[in-house]
Amino acid sequence: MKIVNSNEKLTKLEKVGVILRPSTPELKNYFFKIKEIFEAEGIEVLIDSISAGMINVYGVDFDFMCKESDVLVAIGGDGTLISLTRRSYKYNKPILGINVGKLGFLTDINPNEIALFIKKLKNGEYRIDLRMIIEAKINDKEIFSFNDVVINRKVLSRMVNIQAMINNEVFNTYYGDGLIISTPTGSTAYNLSANGPVVFPLTEAFIITPICPHSLTQRPLVLPVDFEIEFKIDDKIGAEVIVDGQEIFNLSPNDTISIKLAKRKVQLIHRIERNYFDVLREKLGWGGKA
């Protein structure tokens, strides 16, 4: 396991592509304000057609937007940014999150800070964090996950049986409500709710956390990304896989899902002064008075 530091900078900043949190037409005013600020700095703004339709403006195809843009911008909350990282992964574009949500673990720029931050972007006063992403294969279907892959029971009244292998060698059998395979970025999401460990987000590691295991000896496990991990559904009913809490896939009995480190990292743009441990203290209430 290691920490991945980056000295990367943008090669150019002439055009940005914007997506908005779905089903939130009230973001229209935010979009126009942010668009005006970018354009005042000579930066063209594209918006994907789905977001555009929501606020009744002209938009472009998502893939075209990703190809044409130097930076992608998510306006919403962490979920909006997570969705964008996954959908745009193949285009390898830096992503900026503007927080109009509640939590803001990943989207650390507020709308009232965007004008100043764009000037800092143009002056090179920012940093790009490289976050690992999971490449998973469900049978023959390839998917990517920024936060976590959750193998879940299909039926509320039954537990699920999952056989786990590392490099083709069986290392455990999990029996319970399910299993979370998380990235360090996702360690503060569902993994944390299931009593999994918090792992520094620039670390390269897989976190495997059982959900309500039948045996109290089953504990969270942190593994190096050098391993390829495979899970087999050893269950008569099957299971379901939930990717980043946003996409669902059904698994039949004896289906497998393999997990490995994706070849490229996700590039997240942040303020230089952003400190992860300050974020933990603020969001999780660490160090507060009892």
Q: Which residues are catalytic?
A: 78
Token pair of 258, please? 């393999």
- Give 17-77 as a DSSP string: EEEE-TT-GGGHHHHHHHHHHHHHTT-EEEEBHHHHHHHTS--B-HHHHHHH-SEEEEEE-
Residue 99 near residue 110, CB atoms below 8 Å: yes
Residue 20: closest CA among 50, 41, 40? 50
Give start and end residues of each alpha helix (H) in the chain: 28-40, 49-55, 62-68, 78-87, 114-122, 190-193, 276-284
* CA 187 distance to own-chain centroid: 11
> What CA–CA distance (Å, rounded) separates 254 from 248?
18
| Identity at 271, one-letter amino acid code | R
